[in-house]
């Protein structure tokens, strides 16, 4: 699909400098631009690329003034905030790529499943008994929805998502490929003979509105009750949330974070990649946890934690500085020890 500079300027309320009728059919970074592509310039350190870019249109801040000749084929669209306007166009472009409402075949739909309006259901999807799906939901091929699953309005389930029985997904959520919601929590009781007996996991998972979950992440169902992901939570790829965990509103987790069973994560918490949270503890609102940190105890007040076990970041930096000097310190101690022995002999 093609758009002219004039059409784009109308969407983002920009001023055109150049050919208003030039058309683009895709997006590109300014340093990788080619004919027919739309780019943007916001950060001054990338300005050098605008003088050689092959893009046909570039969105710039209205304060931008060229210091060199621009390519003759380049049309500028000036706006107050180039970054924000480009993000607006990305959202518009992504919306244009969404599937049109239809139900593809082959797919399985239980007779008592309930659908809203404007549904897209991809081929090979499986919709089980008593499933309820809201309006404008997009369900891509090979999605599985277990018995009694609820999906809210405007939610997108990408290919390969699996949602086990009794789980609830809110409105305006995005679940990327490979996400598994409601698999069994890791519950096993040790036996006298050294083996383990499985504890049935009979709870569910509740995901509130406006949650996004990255590819191949897993959220386990509760042993009893619910594992809960609150409104506005954003999870990266390969995140593991164990049974009976509660993740507070607008908390974010980067890739490969693991949260053990029954942990309670507060609101607006930020957790870096590969961090680990032990089970049955609480993390205070607005806490920040640096990547690869391990949190074994309750965090009772807002803090920035680093290391394993996690301690306040400034303390960790001081400790690490001391750790790096240990070889030097040990050498000095050995030298002093040798001098003491020499003095004693004398």
Catalytic site positions: 243
As given in the structure block, the two tokens for residue 151 are 């999906």
Nearest alpha carbon to residue 254 among 273, 269, 270: 273
Cβ contact 27:38 at 8 Å: yes
The tokens describing 268, both together, are 């607006």
DSSP-based three-state secondary structure for 207 = strand
Q: Which residue has the tokens 């631009």?
A: 33
Distance CA 312, CA 317 (A): 9
Place of tokens 């905030």: 81
Half-sphere exposure of 316 (CA within 13 A, CB side): 15
Contacts of 76 (CB under 8 A, 6+ apart): 16, 17, 18, 57, 58, 59, 60, 64, 70
Measured in degrees and rounded to the nearest 5, phi and psi for residue 261 equal -60, 140
Nearest to 251 by CA among 208, 285, 216, 228: 285
Q: Which residues contact 40 (CB under 8 A, 6 or more apart)?
A: 30, 58, 59, 60, 82, 83, 85, 86
Residue with tokens 């930096």: 317
């Amino acid at each position: 699909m093609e758009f002219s500079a004039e059409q784009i300027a109308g969407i983002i309320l920009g001023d055109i400098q150049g050919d208003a009728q030039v058309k683009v059919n895709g997006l590109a970074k300014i340093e990788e631009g080619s004919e027919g592509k739309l780019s943007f310039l916001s950060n001054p350190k990338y300005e050098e690329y605008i003088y050689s870019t092959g893009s046909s249109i570039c969105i710039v801040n209205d304060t931008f003034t060229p210091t060199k000749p621009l390519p003759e084929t380049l049309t500028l669209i000036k706006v107050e905030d180039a970054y924000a306007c480009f993000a607006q166009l990305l959202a518009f472009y992504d919306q244009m790529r969404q599937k049109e409402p239809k139900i593809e075949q082959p797919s399985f739909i239980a007779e008592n499943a309930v659908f809203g309006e404007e549904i897209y259901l991809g081929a090979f999807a499986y919709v089980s008994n008593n499933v309820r799906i809201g309006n404008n939901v997009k369900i891509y091929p090979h999605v599985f929805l277990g018995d009694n699953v609820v999906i809210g309005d405007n939610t997108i389930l990408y290919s390969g998502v699996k949602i086990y029985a009794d789980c609830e997904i809110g409105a305006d959520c995005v679940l990327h490929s490979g996400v598994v919601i409601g698999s069994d929590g890791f519950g096993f009781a040790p036996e006298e003979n050294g083996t383990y007996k499985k504890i049935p996991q009979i709870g569910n998972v509740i995901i509130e509105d406006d949650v996004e979950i990255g590819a191949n992440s897993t959220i386990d169902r509760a042993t009893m009750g619910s594992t809960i992901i609150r409104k506005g939570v954003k999870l990266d790829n390969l995140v593991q949330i164990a049974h009976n965990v509660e993740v507070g509103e607008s908390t974010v987790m980067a890739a490969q974070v693991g949260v053990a069973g029954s942990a309670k994560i507060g609101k607006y918490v930020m957790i870096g990649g590969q961090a680990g949270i032990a089970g049955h503890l609480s993390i205070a609102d607005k806490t920040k946890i640096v990547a690869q940190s391990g949190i074994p105890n309750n965090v009772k007040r807002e803090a920035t934690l680093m290391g394993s076990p996690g301690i306040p970041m400034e303390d960790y930096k001081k400790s690490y500085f001391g750790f790096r000097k240990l070889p030097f310190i040990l050498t000095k101690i050995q030298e002093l020890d040798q001098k003491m022995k020499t003095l004693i002999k004398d």
